[in-house]
Amino acid sequence: MAAAAARAWALRGGLALAWRGPRGLAGSAARWQQEDFSSLDEKPQFPGASAEFVDKLDFIKPNVISGIPVYRVMDRQGQIINASEDPQLPQEVVLKLYKSMTLLNTMDRILYESQRQGRISFYMTNYGEEGTHVGSAAALDDTDLVFGQYREAGVLMYRGYPLNLFMSQCYGNSGDPGKGRQMPVHYGCKERNFVTISSPLATQIPQAVGAAYAAKRANSNRAVICYFGEGAASEGDAHAGFNFAATLECPIIFFCRNNGYAISTPTSEQYRGDGIAARGPGYGIMSIRVDGNDVFAVYNATREARRRAVAENQPFLIEAMTYRIGHHSTSDDSSAYRSVDEVNYWDKQDHPISRLRHYMLSRGWWDEEQEKGWRKQSRKKVMEAFEEAERKLKPPVGFIFSDVYQEMPAQLQKQQEALSRHLQAYGEHYPLDHFEQ
């Protein structure tokens, strides 16, 4: 009796007093609205979690053996498994998917080679991951804002970014919209809503969330998609981004390219849980794992995620499983940490380009002759852009000093003048003839 009375007191009066805390009534006002304390049920009343009591000690086992399943539409031979999941994209869209992937592949091979020949300083290929780029890009609106990491050139390719601009950025020449300031593959394009890439990993994740919040407030019917690798997902910024997106209810798609490696670090050394998809529910985020080498699976997942993210103002997490066929970059030789056999398996047996090609062949939308013709044509396009990039001068040296701020501060003007005077006296020691005046 006394116990019941005590409990009644605690729930009605005593707890209320305890709730006041240092912030007084202001702090507890919101909480008062959340829970009804009149019940004497044995339910936990903690503000931090709503769950039942349990009286048996039992740890939750992180379910890594049978983890989150991988959604796919096509088998490895490009045949649709479940017809109701076929997005039934029209032929011109499928052709565009295919041509974007293959054109990217061709450009990758030529630019990788050009680095080897000392024509550009650095390059990163996209081998094996082309499906993640175009499948997701096709599912978005053109106005959706893209934040990438560095291995999403196919998204830009799908959106029609011209070859000569890709090349100009890699060459850092006068055609580069980025004004020659960044290493190769750090693309950006305002018209195509592709935010300029930066080298620090995962920094784009909370930024993408902020951009999504602004889009929500503007009622602009725009989604934001944020790409990152499974390695970058280990960064604190990723945790920050996920948590903010969920608590602030942002229309954002988090797209993780899980390609098996972060430079040389395999996933077994990157995380111990069930990949990145399993983290989503921990933040309260709708999550899915897909076969990243299946463009239709990527397309379907992204399309649905986009629709719901904007309609419901909540984040979605897509973990696209894939494989990084190429080296991390031109500074890497992956034979140092993985076998050639492993790489060959993915190149020959499970490649997004060949799987889509099989699909197209079985639909009668493609054949050997068109394949040959397209290979020749795409190579020619790439070589033309390449030669044009080779010929162009670099931008004016004055670009060192502009855009640090919107306006150039006095101190920078003085430094610019100092460099100018220096070059007048010592110009012969500098490659001035490669730069526009």
Partner 1 sequence: MAAAVVASTARWVRVRAGVVEAARLRCQLGGSRFGRLFLLPSAAGDVAQRRHVAHFTFHPDPENRKYVIFGEDVAFGGVFRCTVGLRDKYGKDRVFNTPLCEQGIVGFGIGVAVNGATAIAEIQFADYIFPAFDQIVNEAAKYRYRSGDLFNCGGLTIRAPWGCVGHGALYHSQCPEAFFAHCPGIKIVVPRSPFQAKGLLLSCIEDKNPCIFFEPKILYRAAVEQVPVEPYYIPLSQAEVLQEGSDVTLVAWGTQVHVIREVASMAREKLGVSCEVIDLKTILPWDIDTVCKSVAKTGRLMISHEAPLTGGFASEISSTVQEECFLNLEAPISRVCGYDTPFPHIFETFYIPDKWKCYDALRKMINY
Residue count (the chain): 437
Orientation of helix 91-116 relative to helix 352-363, angle to 10°:
150
**Which listed residue (139, 145, 288, 389) binds partner 1 by CB under 8 A?**
145
236 binds partner 1 (CB under 8 A): yes
Contact residues for 369 (Cβ-Cβ < 8 A; gap 6+): none
- Catalytic member of 35, 85, 113, 304: 113
Q: Which of 173, 134, 139 is nearest to 156 (CA)?
A: 134
Q: Which two tokens stand for residue 33?
A: 């609205």
Please report, as residue ranges, which positions from 346 to 405 form the binding site for partner 1 (by CB under 8 A). Answer: 402-405
Q: How far apart are CA 301 and CA 313, in angstroms?
A: 17
Asked if 47 interacts with partner 1 (CB under 8 A), we say no
- The contact pattern for partner 1, residues 7-26, with x = CB under 8 A and - = no contact, is ----------------x--x
362 catalytic per annotation: no
Question: Which of 67, 177, 396, 398 forms a contact with partner 1 (CB under 8 A)?
Answer: 177
The Cβ-side half-sphere exposure at 247, using a 13 Å CA radius, reads 7
Q: Which is nearer to partner 1, 193 or 354 (CB)?
A: 193
- Residue 147 or 296 with smaller CB distance to partner 1: 147
- Taking the complex as a whole, the smallest distance from the CB of residue 169 to partner 1 amounts, in Å, to 9
Measured CA to CA, the distance from residue 378 to residue 381 in angstroms comes to 5
DSSP assignment of 88-110 equals: ---HHHHHHHHHHHHHHHHHHHH
Q: Which stretch binds partner 1 (CB under 8 A): 85-93, 153-161, 216-224, 350-358?
A: 216-224
Q: What share of the chain is helix, strand, coil (3-state, %, to 5)?
A: 50, 10, 40
Nearer to partner 1, 241 or 275 (CB): 241
The closest of 176, 188, 179, 186 to 123, measured between CA atoms, is 186
Binding mask 179-208 for partner 1 (x = CB under 8 A): x-xx---x-xxx----xx-x-x--x-xxxx
Judge whether 38 counts as a catalytic residue: no
Per the CB < 8 A criterion, the answer to whether 186 and 196 are in contact is yes
Nearer to partner 1, 198 or 264 (CB): 198
Among 174, 234, 243, 264, which residue interacts with partner 1 (rule: CB under 8 A)?
Answer: 243
Q: For the beta carbon of residue 38, count every other beta carbon within 10 angstroms.
A: 8
Q: Which range of residues in 243-251, 296-304, 338-346, 382-390 is near partner 1 by CB under 8 A?
A: 243-251
> Tokens 């280990």 sit at which residue?
234
Tell me: does residue 410 bind partner 1 (CB under 8 A): yes
User: Is position 199 annotated as part of the catalytic site?
Assistant: yes
Question: Binding residues for partner 1, per CB under 8 A?
Answer: 23, 26-27, 145, 147, 176-179, 181-182, 186, 188-190, 195-196, 198, 200, 203, 205-215, 217-218, 224, 236-237, 239-241, 243-244, 247-248, 402-406, 409-412
Q: Give the catalytic positions in this structure.
A: 113, 199, 328-329
